[in-house]
């Protein structure tokens, strides 16, 4: 990867503020962190803020022991909506928390203040779109909405279309992951030509190192409290209806020698914990970092009914883990059926079980190596950061000169 750190003086580049919905390690948040770190590595001014703390934290920002958000990095700084100064931004791996809730008035005021120190805001995820549209109204700070989901979710009913239309038109630019997604956004929301840009989903390869053989896998399992000598499949995501953890548990019923490690939380957790196969599932909760689970797993299972280009699939592939996934959205751009894993139709636990059984019984190390090679070629962050820097520069140039 070429070194861009000395390409131009940092002072001639726009100052970027990345906004994420909360401190979780979801797909949008992970990408924002990786892009933030890479921009800083290249010498560009970049800051990272979260609208809210981790959902597991107390609304006042404290974890169970009162020391900070549950599961969060202790270096993260919680920030109040002080009227006369912007929040202090912590180190490159942390996100300053703007308020107690994503769209609380105090949170929006803090975002408006934080944006004074930025030339362009990158809004990662749907909650950040509404926050930027509200908080930055009447200011001279433009924002770019980073869309990572499938746009059909936005168009499921008339109310969603109307809301999306109003919010998207407030953005200076919108990015999406594929040409098909751009077409949907332009047609459904009447966005002008050139406003929607296609920049592929990506991750920094160095953030997702493969396990160092069997010993590395066993060490990762030990660190997570997982059994060492079993076939272990990872499932990562929100335990919500569209992610279909119930299908993953149904798969366990058909594969008695397999254990499932579930990383995530959500409204269906308590219900699904009573599933007959849940005795062979390890509910880890929302992990502060998914890398140990990738290193511990023999395969990744994705059972969603709706996706865009899932970041978890890219992360697992970079970690050398093959995936079995439902063929929804643009999942097939990451998972090559028969080459890096397997694809099946959504909603079919029998097909998922058959595909997962084959992947686990075959040369899963070879599939994992192929998955990593494919991800390095198509989804490594360094290949797309130039596109992000160009887009940010164009948006900045389209506005007034930066404020002092």
pLDDT tens for each residue of 209-218: 999 888 999 9
CB 326 within 8 A of CB 306: no
CA gap 36, 114 in Å, rounded:
16
pLDDT digits (tens, 9 = 90+) for 233-275: 999 999 999 999 999 999 999 999 999 999 999 999 999 999 9
> pLDDT category, 95, cuts 50, 70, 90?
confident
Q: Is the pLDDT score of 343 beyond 60?
A: yes
Q: What is the pLDDT of residue 264?
A: 92
> What percentage of the chain carries pLDDT values higher than 90?
68
> pLDDT category, 15, cuts 50, 70, 90?
very high
> What percentage of the chain carries pLDDT values higher than 70?
86
Average confidence score pLDDT of the chain: 86
> Backbone phi, then psi, for 118, in 5-degree steps?
-125, 155
Q: What is the pLDDT of residue 288?
A: 82
Domains of the chain: 10-203+381-397 (3.40.50.2000), 205-378 (3.40.50.2000)
Average confidence (pLDDT) over 360-369: 93
Nearest 5°: the CA angle 223, 53, 129 is 120
Q: Is the pLDDT score of 109 beyond 90?
A: yes
> pLDDT category, 155, cuts 50, 70, 90?
low
393 burial level (CB within 10 Å; 0-12, 13-18, 19+): middle
CA gap 322, 360 in Å, rounded:
9
Give the three-state DSSP class for 157.
coil
Least confident segment among 9-23, 45-59, 120-134, 365-379: 45-59
> pLDDT category, 82, cuts 50, 70, 90?
very low
Counting other chains too, the contacts that 329-335 makes at CB distance below 8 Å and 24 or more residues apart are 329/150, 330/150, 330/177, 330/178, 330/180, 330/181, 331/302, 331/307, 333/178, 333/309, 333/378, 334/309, 334/310, 334/374, 334/375, 334/379, 335/371
Q: What is the pLDDT of residue 223?
A: 95
Strand order in the sheet with 231-236: 281-285, 258-263, 231-236, 299-302, 323-326, 341-344
> Among 207, 215, 209, which Cα is nearest to 320's?
209
Give the three-state DSSP class for 170.
coil
Give the three-state DSSP class for 261.
strand
Q: What is the pLDDT of residue 55?
A: 73
Q: Is the pLDDT score of 64 beyond 90?
A: no
Q: Is the pLDDT score of 311 beyond 80?
A: yes
Q: What is the pLDDT of residue 243?
A: 96
CA gap 382, 334 in Å, rounded:
17
Q: Which two tokens stand for residue 348?
A: 């079919």
Q: What is the pLDDT of residue 11?
A: 54
> Backbone phi, then psi, for 56, in 5-degree steps?
-75, -15
Q: Which residue has the higher pLDDT, 94 or 46?
A: 46
> Among 169, 228, 204, 175, which Cα is nearest to 92's?
204
Q: Is the pLDDT score of 403 beyond 60?
A: no
Q: What is the pLDDT of residue 248?
A: 98
Q: What is the pLDDT of residue 213?
A: 86
Q: Is the pLDDT score of 225 beyond 80?
A: yes
CA gap 388, 44 in Å, rounded:
12
CB 173 within 8 A of CB 144: yes
Q: Is the pLDDT score of 292 beyond 80?
A: yes
pTM for this entry = 0.77
Q: Is the pLDDT score of 108 beyond 90?
A: yes
Q: What is the pLDDT of residue 401?
A: 46
């Amino acid at each position: 990867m070429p070194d861009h750190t000395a390409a131009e003086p940092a002072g001639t580049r726009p100052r970027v503020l990345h906004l994420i919905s909360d401190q979780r390690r979801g797909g949008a948040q992970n990408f924002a962190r990786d892009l933030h770190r890479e921009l800083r590595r290249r010498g560009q001014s970049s800051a990272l803020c979260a609208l809210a703390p981790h959902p597991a934290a107390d609304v006042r920002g404290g974890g169970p022991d009162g020391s900070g958000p549950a599961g969060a990095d202790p270096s993260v700084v919680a920030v109040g909506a002080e009227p006369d100064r912007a929040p202090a931004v912590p180190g490159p791996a942390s996100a300053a928390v703007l308020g107690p809730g994503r769209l609380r008035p105090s949170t929006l005021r803090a975002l408006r203040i934080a944006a004074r120190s930025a030339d362009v805001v990158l809004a990662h995820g749907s909650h950040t779109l509404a926050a930027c549209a509200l908080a930055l109204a009447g200011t001279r700070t433009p924002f770019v909405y980073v869309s990572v989901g499938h746009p059909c979710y936005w168009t499921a009913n008339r109310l969603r279309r109307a809301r999306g239309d109003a919010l998207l038109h407030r953005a200076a630019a919108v990015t999406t992951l594929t040409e098909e997604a751009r077409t949907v956004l332009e047609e459904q929301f009447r966005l002008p030509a050139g406003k929607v840009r296609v920049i592929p989903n990506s991750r920094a390869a160095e953030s997702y190192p493969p396990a160092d053989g069997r010993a590395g896998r066993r060490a990762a399992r030990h660190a997570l409290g997982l059994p060492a000598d079993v076939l272990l499949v990872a499932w990562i995501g929100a335990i919500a209806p569209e992610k279909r953890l119930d299908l993953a548990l149904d798969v366990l019923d058909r594969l008695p020698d397999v254990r499932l490690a579930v990383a995530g939380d959500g409204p269906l957790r308590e219900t699904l914990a009573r599933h007959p196969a849940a005795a062979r599932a390890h509910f880890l909760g929302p992990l502060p970092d998914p890398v140990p689970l990738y290193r511990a797993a023999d395969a990744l299972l994705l059972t969603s009914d709706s996706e865009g280009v899932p970041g978890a699939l890219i992360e697992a592939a970079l970690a050398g883990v093959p995936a079995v996934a439902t063929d929804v959205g643009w999942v097939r751009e990451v998972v090559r059926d028969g080459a890096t894993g397997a694809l099946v139709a959504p909603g079919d636990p029998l097909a998922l079980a058959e595909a997962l059984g084959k992947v686990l019984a075959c040369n899963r190390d070879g599939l994992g190596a192929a998955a990593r090679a494919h991800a390095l070629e198509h989804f490594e962050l360094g290949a797309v950061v130039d596109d992000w820097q160009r887009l940010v520069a164009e948006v900045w140039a389209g506005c007034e000169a930066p404020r002092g």
